[in-house]
A and B are shown apart, each in its own frame.
Chain A
Amino acid sequence: MASVPPPPNDPPPTLGSRLLRKERRVVAGLDPQQLIKYFFGANSSIAIIVLVLIMAFLLREGAGFLTTYRHELEVYRQAGLEFCDLADRPLQHQRVLANALRRALSIEMDPLTKSARERRDAAFLLKASVEEKTSASRADLEHALEQTPPPAADSLVHLREVVKQKTTAAAAAAEYPDLFTSAEKSRLQNELSELSPEVSDLPPFLQSLIAEYSTQDQAARSKFAGIISTGELFEEATDPVVEVLDELKAHATETKEQATEYFTLKAGRQQLLDAAATATDPERKAALLAEAEASQSDGVNFGERIESILMRREELISKLQEYCTALEAAFKEMPEQSTTAEATALVSEVRHAIPGHLGEIHQAVENLKNWKWDAPVAFYRSLGAFFFGTEWITNSSWQDFFGFVPLLAGSVVISIIAVLIATPVSVVAAIYTNQFASDREKEIIKPVIEFIQAIPSVVLGFIGISLVGNLIKDFSEISWLQWIPGFPIQERLNMFNAGCLLAFMAVPTMFSLSEDALNNVPRAYIDASDALGATKLQTVFRVIVPAGISGILSAILLGLGRVVGETMVVLLVAGNRIAVPDFSAGLGVVFQPAHTLTGIIAQELGEVSRGSSHWQALFMVGIVLFGISLLVNWCARAVARRFEPHKA
């Protein structure tokens, strides 16, 4: 820049002379001022360079995903797996409906058989507990009986005596529930006292209880014959389709395996050829080339192999149509009204789902008719399958799918829960600390909240598993809280649990930054408000908080950034179920387990082979995660700028 060139006639100065010449000290064409400037500049650009390198690395690893995945989808189509799935997907829905019917049936039957079942189970429990209490002496007797030669008769008599005595005592000590009348209780006690390892028959009273149950069960079954027969018809209706489909699936899988093998060999051969091309030793080169030649194999003729699937297209379609007819027939016999509300709800749910299901099948038939094995897979398809795919299935013997939606949904729901919980807590705490707390309180509150940051997240995960999960579960079973959607919960490890812990982790960030924002509200605003006669509360809520709102919003966003990127807690606590949460459960959806963007990378990256499609898919997830973090941070800055009051 401002370096002064040496006068034209001077001989070019050596480095040493340059350094020694004090009047015009120039090092490598630059004066020291500039050198220092560049040194500082270089240091500050290191961060930028590293960031760019990280992005470049992520993109390089992830970009290959689109072609790899597209190739896999191509094989999926050409081998006929896609064809099978066209028919199979709607049938999976049928399984869900069949389950609902089964559940309805058990709800209906339960009250009818309940008393007999409980009596039977209680009696068996009593028997088991008596046997358990006398197990030591019973074991002695059994042991003696098995001995060859048999021990002396009187020792056996003694052992029997001991067993008899203990059993009688245990039977007398047992508590007989009020399911039994007092006559039954004494009968039961008598029979239990007679228990001995030498008698294998059940005591007669227990036998009668079993009989009692089976008559009630029979009665119930005949009463609900309607549902039962519908259910059976419903379940059997798919059998012919499944039979055909299974054969087709087997064939398609075989094609796919051949293809996989071929492509693996091809890749191996390419490696050999590459090695040969760079090899310098001619002998070695020849050996490599020979090896490559030997691994030459024919490609898979998809067209030929698909024929045997296409041949049966009509058959599959007609089976599907038969299934539809069978289904409709089964539902004609379905009883309209059930006895319990719950069962009625389930049955009507199934009934309402049936037209949709039939539509699905008809659609599937259409798709099967139009399906072409050699239709090209468009490039954007792999991108679409990633960003809109609802299935993340890996290491499958059938087909791997890398659909990103379940992971994104998990991350988003968990983050929303965390932010919704953490925001009020931290903002209110910040307002209190900044405006109302005494100096002593400030001295306590601030370090304590900031200390939360120091807790290792794995420890929090630990707490989530051992403590929070149980707490939520216990809460969800309190009877007067049952109005809360999703209660009682099924899983201890769920999105709500993870959200609570992440909220806890986000509080220090949100609190400290919000507190700073409030602190930065100019003193002059407060003076003005006070001088107008505002009360403390009025000043806080009408002047200070509105003036600090940009800082508070950006604090919330930075907290969100922290939540989105957090890995350990979600991995441990979110339940790791890879499925799109069932949003039809309303707000109760938060009590479902889920997997997350961060969790999946942490969990799977260590186990996949480098460069495979799975590996690349995980990098794609990483790229998206990176993008989300950048976006959140950018928003935080934009908000801070957007609402920033012009500095007065």
Chain B
Amino acid sequence: MSADSPAIATPPPVVQVRDMDFCYGASQALFDINLKVEYHRVTALIGPSGCGKSTLLRCVNRMNDRVTGARVTKGEVLVKGKNIHHADVDLTQLRKQVGMVFQKSNPFPKSIYENVAYGLRIHGEKSKSVLDEAVERSLTHAALWEELKDRLHANALALSGGQQQRLCIARAIATLPDVLLMDEPCSALDPISTLKIEELMHQLAKEFTVVIVTHNMQQAVRVSDYTAFLHLGKLVEFAPTEELFTNPREKLTEAYLRGTFS
């Protein structure tokens, strides 16, 4: 399988999933996953509904920990070479390293400024100048600064859906994570907002590493460098996007891409 393709020597993968099985209680959701996410690349996860894309994504920042009975039963997940299930990994630090953006935008019912500053505040940052600087930087990155710089103290819930989602991205990158996980970030947005976020994705990849779950094949083609295709909890094919879409190695992938999927 292409997931087993020889590792590129340098730079090392920022996220590496090795032989991982994952269970929700008694039912196994992921089977023997192997995946490497390279620095400053956009990796897309595609696959039919219920195949385990979100589950895999949530394994990287251990968001599944909150589900009772959910656990990794085999294999390991490494972030920057460190096993994230190791006893001395601090969960709050891990989540500072691995940011997440959800399908439905979920800004806090606070001001725009406070939303972006939240991540830094909970990690102990108090200095106003540092916060100001981080807010400006993050909003600029999320292509919001020009729009919002005059109303930083307005309630975030008053923004449009697309702005809210970009604000969530700004909030997630304010703590300067290494990886940004995005679970169908555009599925609730109109085409124009979607376009803006897709443009953003390329910019973000310059600073961060992005893993995105998407249902939209065109989107995967447009934004990602690598694509992983999952089916029934198994990683069927993982390859550079262009290769996977033009010349899939697996029959299953081809069927899925052509839409003749049984």
Docked-complex contact A533 and B175, CB < 8 angstroms = yes
Closest B residue by C-beta to A524: B106
Closest A residue by C-beta to B61: A531
Which residue among A532, A535, A542, A648 has the maximum number of chain B CB atoms within 10 Å of its CB?
A: A532
Among the stretches B19-27, B116-124, B228-236, the one at the interface with A is B116-124
Closest B residue by C-beta to A535: B92
Contact A531-B63, Cβ < 8 Å, known A524-B106, A648-B107 = yes
Q: A residues within 8 A CB of B99?
A: 531-532
Docked-complex contact A533 and B109, CB < 8 angstroms = no
Q: How far is the CA of A547 from the CA of B114 in the complex (A)?
A: 13
Q: How far is the CA of A646 from the CA of B105 in the complex (A)?
A: 13
Docked-complex contact A648 and B91, CB < 8 angstroms = no
Contact A531-B123, Cβ < 8 Å, known A522-B106, A525-B106, A646-B155 = no
User: Which parts of A511-538 form the interface with B (CB within 8 Å)?
Assistant: 522, 524-525, 527-535, 538
Q: B residues within 8 A CB of A268?
A: none
Q: B residues within 8 A CB of A542?
A: 118, 121-122
How would residues 161 to 196 of chain B score, 1 for a CB under 8 Å from any chain A CB and 0 otherwise? 000100010011001000000000000000000000
State the interface size on chain A (CB cutoff 8 A): 20
Q: B residues within 8 A CB of A547?
A: 108-109
Docked-complex contact A543 and B92, CB < 8 angstroms = no
How would residues 93 to 110 of chain B score, 1 for a CB under 8 Å from any chain A CB and 0 otherwise? 111100110101111111
- Chain B CB within 8 A of A546 CB: yes
- Chain B CB within 8 A of A645 CB: yes
Task: Determine which of B66, B104, B107 lies in contact with A530 in the assembled complex, contact meaning CB atoms within 8 Å.
Answer: B66
User: Which parts of B177-228 form the interface with A (CB within 8 Å)?
Assistant: none
Q: A residues within 8 A CB of B152?
A: none
- Chain A CB within 8 A of B255 CB: no
Q: A residues within 8 A CB of B92?
A: 533-535
- Chain A CB within 8 A of B158 CB: yes
- Chain A CB within 8 A of B157 CB: yes
Docked-complex contact A534 and B122, CB < 8 angstroms = yes
Closest beta carbon of chain A to B155's beta carbon, Å: 7
Would you call the interface of chain A mostly helix, strand, loop, or mixed?
helix
Closest beta carbon of chain B to A534's beta carbon, Å: 5
Closest beta carbon of chain A to B258's beta carbon, Å: 35
Q: How far is the CA of A547 from the CA of B155 in the complex (A)?
A: 12
Q: How far is the CA of A311 from the CA of B164 in the complex (A)?
A: 86
Closest A residue by C-beta to B109: A645
How would residues 555 to 587 of chain A score, 1 for a CB under 8 Å from any chain B CB and 0 otherwise? 000000000000000000000000000000000
Docked-complex contact A528 and B109, CB < 8 angstroms = no
Closest beta carbon of chain A to B216's beta carbon, Å: 22
Closest A residue by C-beta to B168: A528
Q: B residues within 8 A CB of A534?
A: 92, 122
Q: How far is the CA of A529 from the CA of B106 in the complex (A)?
A: 10
Closest B residue by C-beta to A522: B106
Q: How far is the CA of A181 from the CA of B104 in the complex (A)?
A: 92
Closest beta carbon of chain A to B233's beta carbon, Å: 23
Contact A648-B106, Cβ < 8 Å, known A531-B95, A531-B99, A535-B92 = yes
Q: How far is the CA of A529 from the CA of B114 in the complex (A)?
A: 13
Closest A residue by C-beta to B119: A532
Docked-complex contact B100 and A533, CB < 8 angstroms = no
Docked-complex contact B93 and A524, CB < 8 angstroms = no
Q: A residues within 8 A CB of B172?
A: 531-532
Q: B residues within 8 A CB of A524?
A: 102, 104, 106
Q: B residues within 8 A CB of A538?
A: 122
Closest beta carbon of chain B to A359's beta carbon, Å: 55
Closest beta carbon of chain B to A232's beta carbon, Å: 70
Closest beta carbon of chain A to B59's beta carbon, Å: 13
Q: How far is the CA of A534 from the CA of B157 in the complex (A)?
A: 21
Docked-complex contact A529 and B164, CB < 8 angstroms = no
Closest beta carbon of chain B to A296's beta carbon, Å: 76
Q: B residues within 8 A CB of A648?
A: 104-107, 109, 157, 164
Q: How far is the CA of A499 from the CA of B122 in the complex (A)?
A: 39
Closest A residue by C-beta to B110: A546
Q: A residues within 8 A CB of B66?
A: 530
Which residue among A529, A533, A535 has the maximum number of chain B CB atoms within 10 Å of its CB?
A: A533
Q: A residues within 8 A CB of B104?
A: 524, 648
Q: How far is the CA of A282 from the CA of B104 in the complex (A)?
A: 88
Docked-complex contact A533 and B106, CB < 8 angstroms = no
Q: B residues within 8 A CB of A535?
A: 92, 122
Closest A residue by C-beta to B93: A533
Docked-complex contact A528 and B106, CB < 8 angstroms = yes
User: Which parts of A161-215 form the interface with B (CB within 8 Å)?
Assistant: none
Q: How far is the CA of A197 from the CA of B197 in the complex (A)?
A: 111
Q: How far is the CA of A211 from the CA of B6 in the complex (A)?
A: 117
Docked-complex contact B102 and A533, CB < 8 angstroms = no
Task: Determine which of A532, A543, A646 lies in contact with B95 in the assembled complex, contact meaning CB atoms within 8 Å.
Answer: A532
How would residues 69 to 91 of chain B score, 1 for a CB under 8 Å from any chain A CB and 0 otherwise? 00000000000000000000001
Q: How far is the CA of A532 from the CA of B61 in the complex (A)?
A: 10
Docked-complex contact A645 and B118, CB < 8 angstroms = no
Q: A residues within 8 A CB of B108?
A: 525, 528-529, 543, 547
Q: A residues within 8 A CB of B118?
A: 529, 532, 542
Docked-complex contact B100 and A531, CB < 8 angstroms = yes
Q: A residues within 8 A CB of B155?
A: 645-646
Contact A530-B95, Cβ < 8 Å, known A542-B118, A646-B155, A646-B157 = yes
Docked-complex contact A533 and B157, CB < 8 angstroms = no
Closest beta carbon of chain B to A12's beta carbon, Å: 59
Q: How far is the CA of A538 from the CA of B120 in the complex (A)?
A: 12
Q: A residues within 8 A CB of B164?
A: 648
Q: A residues within 8 A CB of B158?
A: 646
Q: A residues within 8 A CB of B105?
A: 648
Closest beta carbon of chain A to B244's beta carbon, Å: 28
Q: B residues within 8 A CB of A646?
A: 109, 155, 157-158
Docked-complex contact B110 and A533, CB < 8 angstroms = no
Q: How far is the CA of A645 from the CA of B158 in the complex (A)?
A: 9
Q: How far is the CA of A389 from the CA of B91 in the complex (A)?
A: 65
Q: How far is the CA of A645 from the CA of B159 in the complex (A)?
A: 13
Q: How far is the CA of A264 from the CA of B138 in the complex (A)?
A: 85
Docked-complex contact B123 and A533, CB < 8 angstroms = yes
Contact A533-B168, Cβ < 8 Å, known A527-B102, A528-B102, A547-B108 = no
Q: How far is the CA of A528 from the CA of B105 in the complex (A)?
A: 9
Docked-complex contact A530 and B122, CB < 8 angstroms = no
Closest beta carbon of chain A to B190's beta carbon, Å: 16
16 CB contacts below 8 A, A to B, read: A525-B108, A525-B109, A528-B108, A531-B100, A531-B172, A532-B118, A532-B171, A533-B92, A533-B93, A533-B94, A534-B122, A535-B92, A535-B122, A542-B118, A645-B157, A646-B109
Q: A527-B102, A532-B171 provided; 16 other pairs, C-beta below 8 A?
A: A524-B102, A525-B106, A528-B107, A529-B108, A529-B118, A529-B122, A531-B95, A531-B99, A532-B96, A532-B175, A538-B122, A542-B122, A543-B108, A547-B108, A646-B158, A648-B109
Kindly list the 10 A-B residue pairs having the minimum CB-CB distance in the complex, ordered from nearest.
Answer: A645-B109, A533-B95, A524-B106, A533-B92, A531-B100, A646-B157, A532-B119, A534-B122, A533-B96, A528-B106
